[in-house]
């Protein structure tokens, strides 16, 4: 169950992170979208891990 939660956190975090640069008009395939997707994925993994551990 923990692995599924962490994978879901990664997917959600990277999806949200890739759309953040679009708020200021960047393209979905721009370099900043890729960077923000990676950062969002890391935050998603961290958050899901904390959630799975019970804070």
User: Could you report the per-residue pLDDT of 1-37, keeping only the tens digit for each?
Assistant: 688 999 999 999 999 999 988 888 887 778 889 999 9
What confidence tier does 38 reach under pLDDT thresholds 50, 70, 90? very high
User: Is the per-residue pLDDT at 55 higher than 70?
Assistant: no
Residue 36: domain span: 2-53
Token look-up 């890739």 returns 18
Q: Which of 24, 2, 50, 6 is CA-nearest to residue 32?
A: 24
**Count of domains forming the chain:** 1
- Distance in angstroms (rounded) separating the CA atoms of residues 30 and 28: 6
pTM reported for the whole predicted model: 0.84
């Amino acid at each position: 169950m923990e692995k599924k939660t962490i994978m879901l956190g990664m997917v959600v975090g990277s999806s949200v992170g890739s759309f953040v640069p679009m708020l200021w008009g960047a393209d979905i395939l721009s370099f900043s979208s890729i960077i923000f997707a990676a950062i969002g994925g890391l935050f998603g993994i961290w958050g899901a891990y904390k959630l799975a551990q019970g804070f």
